[in-house]
C-alpha cells in the first residue's frame, strides 16, 4: 500500500471533480437537469446531434501531464518485467507481477480518491488501458476486477459498503469478481438457479440453490448449493458480486422471485472454487467455477435494493464495455510497429515485403481500424465524462463490437504477413491471435450486443414516431401524401445537408465529401428505420437478420462521426501528421459509406441483395436433420 | 395372333422411340407401352402380381409346353449339395448352355429362371441378370431392314427380354453397361427391351432417393433392433432417447418368476419429459394402442402414453418474465404490430391434439406388460407417480392378421379395457 502511495498521489491531484462524478452515480434520481440526449439514439431518427460529438472531446493540459507521468512507470514495467510468453505457458500471472501491479495502483483506477483509488476519469482510464493491454491476461484480470468486479459497489453501493470495501479493493489487497453467469444460464437471467433466503433472525441471507440437473450439480457432490461457472478471477478473488434470486413481496402482495445483488466475502464461509479452467487464450487470467454453499451474507451486504439486482447487473455490464476500444487500439498500434519492422526487412524475390500491394493493403487496413477505434473510444469516453450522466450504453456497445471484430481481423492479417513464421508457437502473434478471440465473446457476445444496439435504438425511435405511424396506418391523407412526396424527393437523389459542412460547419473542408456521405447515410438510415418500424412494429425483435444490419449501419455511422470529429480537430489544432489522419478518415468514411449503402438496400423489401429467406431456409433444413445433408460429390445413383 | 397385335403395337413403339429421341419424354407414352405390351402378348386373363408382372404364371405355360419345362426344372433341382445360392443358380444356367447348344427353349428357361431367382436369393444380383440375358443368342433377333424395324421383330423373345428387365426393376436393380451391351447385341438399338432399359436408366436415379424417410432393404430380424428403428422413425425429435427397458428372456433363462418376459423398448424426448413433469396430476393420462406401423413387409405395434388436450380455461398463458435478458430487450414496448403486408404467416386452422409423453413397442400387448413400461418410465419421470394412468387397449381393427415374417399379431383383445372409472395404476402396487 505504501509503495503505491507515491503514484496514487501524483495521479490523484486534479481529479476531485471526476471522482465526484463517479461518486454521485448512485444518486441519479436526484438529478434535476433535463436528460442529455444521446447521439446514437438520434441517428435512428435520421438526425445528427452535432453538439454531442463536435468538437472532439479534449482533456486539460494538467490532466494530460499527470497521466503521462503515471503512464511512464507502467509502460516501463510492462515492457521490462512482464513476460507474456511465460504467463501464457504457465497459465498463471506470477505473484510478484501481481504485487507490482497492485503497487502501481492499477487495481483501483476508477475507485474514487477518498476510498484510496486513483479516481481516473473514463478518458484517462481508457488511456491507461492502451498500456495494460500489452498483456492480454493482465488486461483481462484488471478489467474483471475493476470494470465489472467492483463496479457494482461504486455504482450501487451505500456509503458504508464503499467505505468498507473500496479501499482494500483499490489497493489490490482484495480482488473482486463478478458472479452472474451460471451453467444453465448465459444471458438468460430468468434461469438463474442460485437462491438467497432470509434467515430467521432477518440478519443474514443464506445463499441457497435449487438442485437442478445442471452440469455443476453433477460435478459437485452433496453440499453444492450454487454454482457459478467461469468466473474470471474466481480463484484469486476474495470479494464477489453475486446475483441470486430472492423472494420479494410485490406491491400487490404477491410473492415473486427477483434477482438481488450481494457483496460476498470469501470469509463468509462456504465459498469454494474449482480448479482454473484451461482456455484457448488469455491463459494467465484465472477463470474457474465458484460455489457458494450455505454462505451467510449479512443483510447490509445487499447491493442496491432487494430485488433490484437485474438493474444493477445491467448497469455494471453496460458501463464496462467502452474501455475495450482503447485496449485493442493500443495493441493494434504495437502490432503495426512489429509487423512493419518485419515487412520492411524481409525480402522475397529481391523485393521487400513492404513493396507488395497485398501486404501494403493489410497495413492500411490495420491503420484505418486502429484510427477509427481510437476515435470511437475517446469520443465515447469523453461523452461519458461529461457532467449529467449521459446514457452512452449504445455507444459503448458499438465500440466493443467494432473493436473486438477489428482486433480479430487485424491480428489475423498481421499473422498472415508473417506467414508460416507467425504460426509458430515461438512467435508472439499466435498468442495474440488466441488472446484476441475472447474479445468477440465476453462482456456480451457481439451477436447479443448487436441486438442490444439495434433494439434499444429502435425502441427509442419507435416511441417518437408512434403518432406518425398511426396516421400512416389509418391512411391519413396528409401524412401519406407527405410521405409519398418525400420519397419522390428522395428518389431524385437530392443532397442531404445537416449542417456538418459549409460556412458554420463543424467538419473541416478537407473532409467535406466524407461529411456529406455521413449526412446522406444518416438521412436514409432514418428513413429506413421508419419503414422498418412501419413494417414490423413491435415484432421487429424477431427479425434478427434485419437487426444485425441496422446495428452494422449504426456502428459504421458512429465510426464515421468519430473519425470526422477527430480528424477535424487534428487539422484545426495542427497535430503532427494530420494529413495522414485525413487520408485515413476519408478512406474509412468512403468504405463505410458503401457498406452502408449495401446494407440499406438489403433492408428494402424485396431487395435482390437480401437473401434472408434463403438463409433461413438453408439453416432450417440443416438443423432439422442436425447434419450436413448434401450427398457426397462422389456419390452416384447408377 | 401375335402378328396382329404386333402390328397394333408397332405405332406405340415408334411413338415411344420418338419420345426418347425427342426433347420431351412424356410419361404417357411410356406407361401405355409398358402396360399394353405384356397383356397383349400373353392374353392372360389372370392379374399378375406386381412381383412377376411379365413372367407368366407357371400354370399357363406348363399347359402348352409341358414337355419342355420338365428338364429345366430338373436343372434347378439337381444342385450338388441341395444348397440354393448364387453358385448353384449359375451352375444351372451354365448347365442349360451345355445342354442346349443351339439354345433351344431359351425363352422358357429364362422365364423359369426368373421365377426361381427368389428361391436362390439372387433376385437382387445384377451379374445374375446379365448372365440370364447372355443366354439369348446374339445378333439373331436384331432387325435387319426397315420393315422389321417398324413391326415388332421376334416378339416373344423381345418380351422375354423385357420381362428380365422388369424383374430387375421390381427389385430395384440398376442395369449397367454390360446389360446395355448385351441388349444391343441381342435385340439391337431400337427394340422394346432397349426401350425398357433406357427408361430404367432414366427414372431409377431420379426416384432412388425420392423417399425422405427410407427404410433399409434388409430389416433386422431382432425385434429389439426393429423396434428401435420403428420408434426412431415415428419420433420426430432427434434428441429423443430410446431405452431398452427389458429384453425378451430366453426359454432357458433362470428367471423363474416370469418365464415369458416380453421385450419393452420405449422412446422419450427431453421435451416430452418436461411436459410430463408439468402435467397436472389430477388429470389422468392414457396408455393407448396398439397401433400398427408397417416397415416393408413387417408390421410392428406401438403404444403411446398421452393426455387429453387441456380445456381452454385451464391453459396457462406463458408470460414473459420481466427480468429475462440482461443484454437486450426481449420485446419492444410499442403499440403497433407488424404490418399486414409483411405478415407472411398463413392462416392455418390447426387441429390441436393432446400431448404425447412417450411411446413404446413391447413384445406383448397386455396390460401387465404396459404397466411395467409405465413403471420403468417412472424412474426417469418421477411425476408419473402422482398421475393416474388409464389403460385403453383395443384390438387392432382391420389389420392383416398374417404376413410373412410378421411379428405375432396381438391377440384379439378380449380385455377391452375401457376403464372409465379411472383405474389407478399407482406405482408401488406392483
Residue B262: pLDDT over 80: yes
Rounded mean pLDDT of A164-186?
82
pLDDT tens across B156-166, in order?
999 999 999 99
pLDDT at position A344 is: 94
Nearest to A286 by CA among A162, A149, A137: A137
Residue B22: pLDDT over 60: no
Q: How many whole angstroms from its chain centre is CA A399?
A: 6
Q: Which of A317, A538, A638 faces B334 most closely, judged by CB atoms? A: A538
In chain A, whose CA is at the least distance from the CA of B327? A452
| E-assigned strand segments in A136-192 | 176-179
Query: A595 or A257: which carries more pLDDT confidence?
Result: A595
Q: How many whole angstroms from its chain centre is CA A398?
A: 7
pLDDT at position B35 is: 42
Q: Which of A200-204, B139-143, B161-165 has the weakest average pLDDT?
A: A200-204
Instruction: For residue A318, give how far its alpha carbon lies from the nearest alpha carbon of chain B (Å).
Output: 8
Structure confidence at residue B74 as a pLDDT band (50, 70, 90): confident
- Active-site residue, A341 included: no
* CB pairs < 8 Å spanning A and B: 95
- If DSSP states are collapsed to H, E and C, what string results for chain B? CHHHHHHHHHHHHHHHHHHHHCCCCCHHHHHHHHHHHHHHHHCCCCCCCCCCCCCCCCHHHHHHCHHHHHHHHHHHHCCCCCCCCHHHHHHHHHHHHHHCCCCCCHHHHHHHHHHHHHHHCCCCCHHHHHHHHHHCCCCCCCCCCHHHHHCCCCHHHHHHHHHHHHHHHHCCCCCCHHHHHHHHHHHCCCCHHHHHHHHHHHHHHHHHCCCCCCCCCCCCCCHHHHHHHHHHHHCCCCCCEEEEEECCCCCCCCCCCCCCCCCEEEEECHHHHHHHHHCCCCCCEEEEEEEEEEECCEEEEEEEEEECCCCHHHCCCCCCCCCCECCCCCCCCCCCCCCHHHCCCCCCCCCCCCCEEEEEEECCCCHHHHHHHHHHHHHHCHHHHCCCEEEEECCCCCCCCCCCCCCCCCCCCCCCCCCCCCCCCCCCCC
Probe site for chain A from B334, B337, B380 (most A CB atoms < 10 A): B334
Residue B403: pLDDT over 50: no
Q: Do strands A239-249 and A176-179 pair parallel, antiparallel, or not at all (unpaired)?
A: parallel
CB of A196 closer than 8 Å to CB of A244: yes
pLDDT at position B427 is: 37
Q: Which of A97-101, A252-256, A310-314, A450-454 has the weakest average pLDDT?
A: A252-256
Instruction: For residue B339, give how far its alpha carbon lies from the nearest alpha carbon of chain A (Å).
Output: 5
Q: How far apart are the first and last CA of chain A?
A: 81
Rounded mean pLDDT of A295-311?
88
Nearest to A133 by CA among A328, A320, A406, A339: A328
Residue B414: pLDDT over 60: no
- If DSSP states are collapsed to H, E and C, what string results for A32-84? CCCCCCCHHHHHCCCCCCHHHHCCCCCCCHHHHHHHHHHHHHHHHHHHHHCCH
Give the predicted TM-score (pTM) of the model.
0.82
Probe site for chain B from A190, A243, A545, A606 (most B CB atoms < 10 A): A190
| B interface residues, A as partner, C-beta within 8 Å | 174, 176, 201, 204-205, 208-209, 238, 321, 323-339, 341-342
Contact between chains at A313 and B329 (C-beta distance less than 8 A): no
Query: B99 or B90: which carries more pLDDT confidence?
Result: B90
Structure confidence at residue B357 as a pLDDT band (50, 70, 90): very high
Query: B12 or A367: which carries more pLDDT confidence?
Result: A367
pLDDT at position B141 is: 93
Which one of A17-21, A95-99, B21-25, B245-249 scores highest in mean pLDDT?
Answer: A95-99
Q: Which of B208, B321, B336 faces A470 most closely, judged by CB atoms? A: B336
* Residues of chain A contacting B328 with CB distance shorter than 8 Å: 448-449, 451-452, 455-456
Structure confidence at residue B26 as a pLDDT band (50, 70, 90): very low
Residue B144: pLDDT over 70: yes
Structure confidence at residue B46 as a pLDDT band (50, 70, 90): very low
Query: A36 or A252: which carries more pLDDT confidence?
Result: A252
Q: Do strands B285-295 and B389-393 pair parallel, antiparallel, or not at all (unpaired)?
A: parallel
pLDDT at position B27 is: 39
Which one of A91-100, A421-430, A594-603, B283-292 scores highest in mean pLDDT?
Answer: A594-603
pLDDT tens across A376-404, in order?
999 999 998 888 778 889 999 999 999 99
Structure confidence at residue A254 as a pLDDT band (50, 70, 90): confident
Residue B79: pLDDT over 70: no
Q: Enter the DSSP assignment of A172.
A: T
Contact between chains at B335 and A538 (C-beta distance less than 8 A): yes
Catalytically annotated residue among A443, A519, A520, A581: A443
Structure confidence at residue A441 as a pLDDT band (50, 70, 90): confident
pLDDT at position B258 is: 55
Q: Which of A452, A625, A631 faces B327 most closely, judged by CB atoms? A: A452
Residue B422: pLDDT over 60: no
**B353 phi/psi in degrees, rounded to 5:** -125, 160
pLDDT at position B396 is: 53
Structure confidence at residue B406 as a pLDDT band (50, 70, 90): very low
Contact between chains at B332 and A462 (C-beta distance less than 8 A): yes
Residue A20: pLDDT over 50: no
Residue A620: pLDDT over 50: yes
Report the distance separating Cα A364 and Cα A590, nearest Å.
14
Nearest to A335 by CA among A412, A439, A425, A405: A412
Structure confidence at residue A226 as a pLDDT band (50, 70, 90): very low
Residue A421: pLDDT over 60: yes
Amino acid at each position: 500500500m505504501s509503495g503505491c502511495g507515491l503514484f496514487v498521489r501524483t495521479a490523484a491531484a486534479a481529479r476531485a471533480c471526476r471522482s465526484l462524478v463517479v461518486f454521485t452515480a448512485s444518486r441519479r434520481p436526484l438529478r434535476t437537469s433535463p436528460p442529455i440526449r444521446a447521439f446514437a439514439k438520434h441517428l435512428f431518427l435520421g438526425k445528427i446531434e452535432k453538439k454531442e460529438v463536435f468538437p472532439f472531446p479534449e482533456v486539460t493540459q494538467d490532466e494530460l501531464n499527470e497521466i503521462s507521468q503515471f503512464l511512464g512507470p507502467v509502460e516501463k514495467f510492462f515492457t521490462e518485467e512482464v513476460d507474456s510468453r511465460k504467463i501464457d505457458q504457465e497459465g498463471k500471472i506470477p505473484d510478484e507481477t501481481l504485487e507490482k501491479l497492485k503497487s502501481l495502483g492499477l487495481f483501483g483506477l476508477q475507485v474514487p480518491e477518498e476510498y484510496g483509488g486513483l479516481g481516473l476519469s473514463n478518458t484517462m482510464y481508457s488511456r491507461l488501458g492502451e498500456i495494460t493491454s500489452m498483456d492480454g491476461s493482465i488486461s483481462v484480470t484488471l478489467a474483471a476486477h475493476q470494470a465489472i468486479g467492483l463496479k457494482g459497489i461504486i455504482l450501487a453501493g451505500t456509503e458504508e459498503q464503499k467505505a468498507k470495501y473500496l479501499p482494500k479493493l483499490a489497493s489490490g489487497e482484495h480482488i473482486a469478481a463478478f458472479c452472474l453467469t451460471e451453467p444453465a444460464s448465459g444471458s438468460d437471467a430468468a434461469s438463474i438457479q442460485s437462491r438467497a433466503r432470509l434467515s430467521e433472525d432477518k440478519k443474514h441471507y443464506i445463499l441457497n440453490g435449487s438442485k437442478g440437473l445442471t452440469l455443476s450439480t453433477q460435478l459437485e457432490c452433496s453440499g453444492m448449493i450454487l454454482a457459478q461457472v467461469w468466473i474470471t478471477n474466481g480463484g484469486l478473488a476474495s470479494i464477489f458480486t453475486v446475483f441470486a434470486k430472492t423472494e420479494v413481496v410485490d406491491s400487490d402482495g404477491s410473492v415473486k422471485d427477483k434477482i438481488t445483488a450481494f457483496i460476498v466475502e470469501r470469509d463468509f464461509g462456504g465459498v469454494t472454487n474449482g480448479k482454473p479452467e484451461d482456455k484457448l487464450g488469455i491463459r494467465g487470467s484465472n477463470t474457474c467455477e465458484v460455489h457458494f454453499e450455505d454462505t451467510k451474507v449479512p443483510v447490509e451486504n445487499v447491493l442496491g435494493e432487494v430485488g433490484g439486482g437485474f438493474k444493477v447487473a445491467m448497469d455494471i455490464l453496460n458501463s464496462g464495455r467502452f474501455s475495450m476500444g482503447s485496449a485493442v487500439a493500443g495493441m493494434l498500434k504495437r502490432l503495426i510497429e512489429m509487423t512493419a519492422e518485419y515487412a520492411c526487412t524481409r525480402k522475397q524475390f529481391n523485393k521487400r515485403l513492404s513493396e507488395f500491394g497485398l501486404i501494403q493493403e493489410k497495413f492500411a487496413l490495420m491503420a484505418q481500424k486502429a484510427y477509427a477505434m481510437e476515435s470511437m473510444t475517446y469520443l465515447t469516453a469523453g461523452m461519458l465524462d461529461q457532467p449529467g450522466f449521459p446514457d452512452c450504453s449504445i455507444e459503448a456497445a458499438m465500440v466493443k463490437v467494432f473493436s473486438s471484430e477489428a482486433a480479430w481481423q487485424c491480428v489475423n492479417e498481421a499473422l498472415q504477413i508473417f506467414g508460416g513464421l507467425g504460426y509458430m508457437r515461438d512467435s508472439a502473434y499466435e498468442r495474440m491471435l488466441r488472446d484476441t478471440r475472447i474479445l468477440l465473446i465476453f462482456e456480451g457476445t457481439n451477436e447479443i450486443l448487436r441486438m442490444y444496439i439495434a433494439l434499444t435504438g429502435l425502441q427509442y425511435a419507435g416511441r417518437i414516431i408512434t403518432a406518425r405511424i398511426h396516421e400512416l396506418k389509418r391512411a391519413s391523407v396528409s401524412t401519406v401524401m407527405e410521405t409519398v412526396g418525400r420519397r419522390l424527393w428522395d428518389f431524385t437523389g437530392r443532397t442531404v445537408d445537416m449542417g456538418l459542412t459549409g460556412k458554420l460547419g463543424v467538419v473541416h473542408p478537407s473532409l467535406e465529401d466524407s461529411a456529406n456521405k455521413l449526412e446522406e447515410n444518416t438521412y436514409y438510415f432514418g428513413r429506413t428505420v421508419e419503414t422498418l418500424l412501419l413494417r414490423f412494429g413491435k415484432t421487429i425483435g424477431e427479425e434478427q437478420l434485419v437487426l444485425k444490419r441496422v446495428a452494422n449501419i449504426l456502428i459504421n455511422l458512429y465510426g464515421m462521426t468519430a473519425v470526422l470529429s477527430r480528424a477535424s480537430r487534428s487539422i484545426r489544432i495542427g497535430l503532427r501528421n494530420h494529413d495522414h489522419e485525413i487520408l485515413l478518415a476519408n478512406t474509412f468514411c468512403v468504405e463505410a459509406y458503401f457498406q452502408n449503402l449495401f446494407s440499406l438496400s438489403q433492408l428494402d423489401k424485396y431487395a435482390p441483395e437480401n437473401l434472408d429467406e434463403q438463409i433461413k431456409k438453408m439453416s432450417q433444413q440443416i438443423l432439422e436433420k442436425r447434419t450436413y445433408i448434401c450427398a457426397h460429390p462422389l456419390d452416384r445413383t447408377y | 395372333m401375335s402378328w396382329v397385335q404386333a402390328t397394333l403395337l408397332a405405332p406405340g413403339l415408334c411413338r415411344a422411340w420418338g419420345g426418347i429421341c425427342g426433347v420431351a419424354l412424356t410419361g404417357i407414352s411410356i406407361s401405355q407401352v409398358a402396360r399394353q405390351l405384356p397383356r397383349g402378348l400373353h392374353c392372360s386373363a389372370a392379374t399378375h402380381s406386381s412381383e412377376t408382372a411379365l413372367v407368366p404364371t407357371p400354370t399357363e405355360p406348363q399347359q402348352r409346353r409341358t414337355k419342355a419345362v420338365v428338364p429345366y426344372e430338373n436343372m434347378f433341382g439337381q444342385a450338388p449339395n441341395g444348397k440354393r445360392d448364387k453358385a448353384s443358380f449359375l451352375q444351372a444356367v451354365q448347365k442349360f448352355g451345355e445342354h442346349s447348344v443351339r439354345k433351344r427353349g431359351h425363352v422358357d428357361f429364362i422365364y423359369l429362371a426368373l421365377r426361381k431367382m427368389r428361391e436362390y436369393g439372387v433376385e437382387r444380383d445384377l451379374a445374375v441378370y446379365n448372365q440370364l440375358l447372355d443366354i439369348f443368342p446374339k445378333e439373331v433377333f436384331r432387325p435387319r431392314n426397315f420393315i422389321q424395324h417398324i413391326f415388332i421383330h421376334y416378339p416373344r423373345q423381345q418380351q422375354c427380354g423385357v420381362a428380365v428387365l422388369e424383374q430387375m426393376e421390381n427389385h430395384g436393380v440398376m442395369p449397367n453397361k454390360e446389360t446395355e451391351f448385351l441388349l444391343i447385341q441381342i435385340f439391337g438399338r431400337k427394340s422394346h427391351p432397349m426401350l425398357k432399359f433406357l427408361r430404367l436408366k432414366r427414372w431409377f436415379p431420379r426416384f432412388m432417393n425420392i423417399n425422405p424417410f427410407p427404410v433399409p432393404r434388409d430389416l433386422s430380424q431382432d425385434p429389439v433392433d426393429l423396434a428401435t428403428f420403428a420408434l426412431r422413425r415415428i419420433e420426430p425429435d432427434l434428441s429423443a432417447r430410446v431405452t431398452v427397458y427389458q429384453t425378451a428372456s430366453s426359454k432357458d433363462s433362470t428367471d423363474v418368476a416370469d418365464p415369458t418376459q416380453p421385450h419393452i423398448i420405449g422412446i422419450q424426448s427431453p421435451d416430452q419429459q418436461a411436459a410430463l413433469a408439468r402435467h397436472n396430476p389430477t388429470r389422468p393420462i392414457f396408455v393407448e394402442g396398439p397401433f400398427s406401423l408397417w416397415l416393408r413387409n413387417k408390421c410392428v405395434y406401438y403404444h403411446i402414453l398421452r393426455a387429453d388436450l387441456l380445456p381452454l380455461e385451464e391453459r396457462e398463458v406463458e408470460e414473459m418474465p420481466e427480468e429475462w435478458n440482461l443484454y437486450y430487450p426481449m420485446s419492444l414496448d410499442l403499440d403497433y404490430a407488424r404490418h399486414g403486408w409483411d405478415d407472411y404467416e398463413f392462416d392455418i386452422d390447426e387441429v390441436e391434439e393432446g400431448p404425447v409423453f412417450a411411446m413404446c413397442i413391447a413384445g406383448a400387448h397386455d396390460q401387465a406388460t404396459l404397466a411395467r413400461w409405465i413403471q420403468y418410465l417412472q424412474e426417469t419421470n418421477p411425476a408419473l407417480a402422482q398421475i393416474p394412468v388409464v389403460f385403453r387397449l383395443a384390438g387392432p381393427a382391420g389389420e392383416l392378421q398374417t404376413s410373412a415374417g410378421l411379428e405375432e399379431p396381438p391377440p384379439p383383445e378380449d380385455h377391452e379395457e375401457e376403464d372409465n372409472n379411472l383405474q389407478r395404476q399407482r406405482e408401488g402396487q406392483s
